[in-house]
């Protein structure tokens, strides 16, 4: 056993469990790749100011949860707590918005970091798949992303999730609501920290999960009552497009996202089988973020879906994923010459697309066959000295136990035929 352990609040992904995470990432990415989204990767750390400006200085993410540090050169950096600000920064830096084909549609997958109180479904290191459509103000884009996320979840077999939908207004109508909400919050019995947050960004108070706060918010003014005509029309078109696609959602007038950059459309995917950590993903429109980080006006929309919580949601529903076969054939050589001959056959099988593994370390027949059974392989290839002399190899079906002799020169074609 190692002297060291994974840091508190983090986890290691190990086989066979890791195969679930790969399958979830692939299922989320598949509809994106088929809808014009190109893959992007950004560094695991960025300038602290990128997140302070974009995510919001009043958010818990920036004030309490961000892993920030100073380099030897004096730069202030932070491990990325979310993906949108990094993706938009990269797109601006590469001038993707100047290519003349807006929106720029990107998807990404990676690890993110927040210093949180560790609990099931809430880790300090977590995995997300995200998508961003940069540079266009169009309700169809908002609807597209909601529909694609719904499609991804359903392709995994997930059923018991709900989509919550709301509009946060824009720079025209939100200030009026902000003032009304602040006036309401000033009359509540809130702690000093929460009152301070209410003065910076009162919508953040609506997102406070503490029961002592939530029970005082029952009569809080609703943003939908303050939306301007343009935001109302925009939101109604998103709703109509999503409904026309057969995607069911719930209007939630109190839904706000935990990041400052959201405007207009906001949505969340929740699963009631996960207890307090019910959000499995979410996103929305962020029309002003580009200007916040020094870029031109680029209205955009996106989402991020949590891989960890999606796996937990699948387990809560008892969904068994159909995972790709890692080993179809397991080769068992008995002797040095058999080892050389059979290793060449394994290499040939792999070149022909057959998943094959090999008994390494000079194991005897009994130990090697135990390894073959543990590998999950359908067939074992067993080769001894007598088999080599006769130009044969023993092919054993590990499900039925039936064993037949096949010519060494025919074994690759025989396995390809049997495995389809």
Residue 169: CATH number of its domain = 3.30.930.10
Sheet of strand 45-47, all strands in order from the earlier edge strand to the far edge: 45-47, 76-79, 68-70
Q: Say yes or no: 95 and 43 in one domain.
A: yes
What's the pLDDT at 260? 65
Q: Say yes or no: 349 and 311 in one domain.
A: no
- Report yes or no on 347 lying in a domain: yes
| CATH at residue 337 | 3.40.50.800
Q: Say yes or no: 283 and 408 in one domain.
A: no
Choice among 42-46, 185-189, 198-202, 212-216 with the minimum mean pLDDT: 198-202
Q: Which residues form the domain of 389?
A: 329-419
pTM of the predicted model over 0.75: yes
* Contact status, residue 93 vs residue 25, Cβ threshold 8 Å: no
Percentages (nearest 5) of helix, strand, coil residues in the chain: 40, 20, 40
Q: Say yes or no: 139 and 256 in one domain.
A: yes
Residue 214 — pLDDT band, cuts 50, 70, 90? confident
- Report yes or no on 189 lying in a domain: no
Q: Say yes or no: 298 and 346 in one domain.
A: no
Q: Say yes or no: 105 and 76 in one domain.
A: yes
Q: Mean pLDDT, to the nearest integer, of 310-320? A: 94
Give the residue from 317, 338, 371 where a domain finishes. Answer: 317
The answer to whether residue 23 scores a pLDDT higher than 90 is: yes
Q: Say yes or no: 240 and 357 in one domain.
A: no
Which one is predicted more confidently, 262 or 19? 19
What's the pLDDT at 118? 81
Task: Phi first, then psi: give them for residue 52, nearest 5 degrees.
Answer: -60, -40
Instruction: Look at the chain and report how many structural domains it folds into.
Output: 2
Q: Say yes or no: 300 and 341 in one domain.
A: no
What's the pLDDT at 206? 81
Q: Mean pLDDT, to the nearest integer, of 4-29? A: 92
- Convert the pLDDT of each residue in 86-111 to its tens digit: 999 999 999 999 987 899 999 999 99
Q: Say yes or no: 351 and 379 in one domain.
A: yes
């Amino acid at each position: 056993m190692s002297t060291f352990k994974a840091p508190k609040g983090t986890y290691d992904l190990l086989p066979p469990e890791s195969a679930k995470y790969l399958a979830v990432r692939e299922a989320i990415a598949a509809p994106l790749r088929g809808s014009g989204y190109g893959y992007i990767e950004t560094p695991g750390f960025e300038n602290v100011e990128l997140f302070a400006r974009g995510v919001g200085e009043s958010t818990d993410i920036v004030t309490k949860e961000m892993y920030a540090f100073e380099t030897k050169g004096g730069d202030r950096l932070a491990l990325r707590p979310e993906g949108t600000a990094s993706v938009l920064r990269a797109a601006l830096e590469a001038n993707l918005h100047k290519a003349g084909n807006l929106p720029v549609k990107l998807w990404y997958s990676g690890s993110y970091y927040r210093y949180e109180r560790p609990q099931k479904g809430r880790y300090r290191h977590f995995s997300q798949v995200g998508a961003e459509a940069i540079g266009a103000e169009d309700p169809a884009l908002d609807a597209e992303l909601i529909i694609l996320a719904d499609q991804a979840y359903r392709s995994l077999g997930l059923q018991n999730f709900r989509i919550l939908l709301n509009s946060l207004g824009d720079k025209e109508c939100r200030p009026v609501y902000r003032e009304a909400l602040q006036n309401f919050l000033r009359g509540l019995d809130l702690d000093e920290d929460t009152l301070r947050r209410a003065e910076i960004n009162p919508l953040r108070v609506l997102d406070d999960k503490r029961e002592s706060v939530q029970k005082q918010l029952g009569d809080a003014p609703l943003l939908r009552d303050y939306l301007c005509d343009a935001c109302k029309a925009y939101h109604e078109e998103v709703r109509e497009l999503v409904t026309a696609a057969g995607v069911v959602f719930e209007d939630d007038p109190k839904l706000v996202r935990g990041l400052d950059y959201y405007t207009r459309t906001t949505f969340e995917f929740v699963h009631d089988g996960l207890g307090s950590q019910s959000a499995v993903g979410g996103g929305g429109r962020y029309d002003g973020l580009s200007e916040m980080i020094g870029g031109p006006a680029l209205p955009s929309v996106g989402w991020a879906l949590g891989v960890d919580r999606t796996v937990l949601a699948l387990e809560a529903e008892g969904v068994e994923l159909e995972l790709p076969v890692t080993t179809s054939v397991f080769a068992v050589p008995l002797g040095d010459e058999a080892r050389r001959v059979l290793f060449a056959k394994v290499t040939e099988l792999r070149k022909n697309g057959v998943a094959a593994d090999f008994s390494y370390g000079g194991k005897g027949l009994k130990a090697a066959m135990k390894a073959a059974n543990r590998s999950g392989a359908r067939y074992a290839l067993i080769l001894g000295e007598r088999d080599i002399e006769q130009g044969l190899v023993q092919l054993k079906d590990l499900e039925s136990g039936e064993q037949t002799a096949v010519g060494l020169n025919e074994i690759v074609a025989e396995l390809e035929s049997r495995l389809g």
